[in-house]
Amino acid sequence: MLSAPDFSNKVSAGARYRLVGEVNAFNFTTDAEHRVYIVISAFDYPERLVFSMINELVVKFKQELGPQSLTCPAGALDTKARKLFQAMTDDYDDPTKRDKLMQVQAQVQGVKLTMGKNLDSMLKNIDKAKDIEESSHQLQAQAAK
């Protein structure tokens, strides 16, 4: 894809692109110097979060390795870039840690589970109360006899 003759004509610097497959999504952007920043994620990883990661990656990469990346031979920055990439993937590994919306959704899910358990307990208590009331009526009826 990157080596396609018309790639640079169809891809604008700074624009966001996402190709979604059955398992993964290929998320990428390019910069004015024709560097391509690709993040491969699970297809259901939030798009807004993956592009937040790419934007952060672009800034950090340019600060740490930018000028070198334009003139070095292939693979020359592997060691230096690996540290940067590892730190970024660790930060973005759990979307709920980076995304406030997902944090709120996780909290709502927790509340829903708690409420479901509480409702089940209340229904069981109502059933027990009905059983006790019925037993009480039966005991009263037997006592009257």
Q: What is the pLDDT of residue 25?
A: 93
The whole domain housing 32 covers: 1-95
Which segments in the chain show pLDDT lower than 70? 1-3, 99, 101-103
For residues 111 and 78, membership in a common domain is answered with no
For residues 106 and 83, membership in a common domain is answered with no
Which SS3 state, helix, strand or coil, does residue 50 take?
helix
| Three-point CA angle 44, 100, 107, nearest 5° | 85
Q: Which of 54, 77, 95 is the last residue of a domain?
A: 95
pLDDT in tens, 96-126: 777 676 667 777 888 888 888 888 888 888 8
Q: What is the pLDDT of residue 116?
A: 87
Domain count, the chain: 2
For residues 136 and 66, membership in a common domain is answered with no
For residues 49 and 112, membership in a common domain is answered with no
What is the model's pTM?
0.61
Q: What is the pLDDT of residue 1?
A: 63
Q: Which of 95, 110, 125 is the last residue of a domain?
A: 95
- Please name which of 32, 83, 29, 78 lies closest in space to residue 53, comparing C-alpha atoms: 29
For residues 1 and 70, membership in a common domain is answered with yes
For residues 85 and 132, membership in a common domain is answered with no
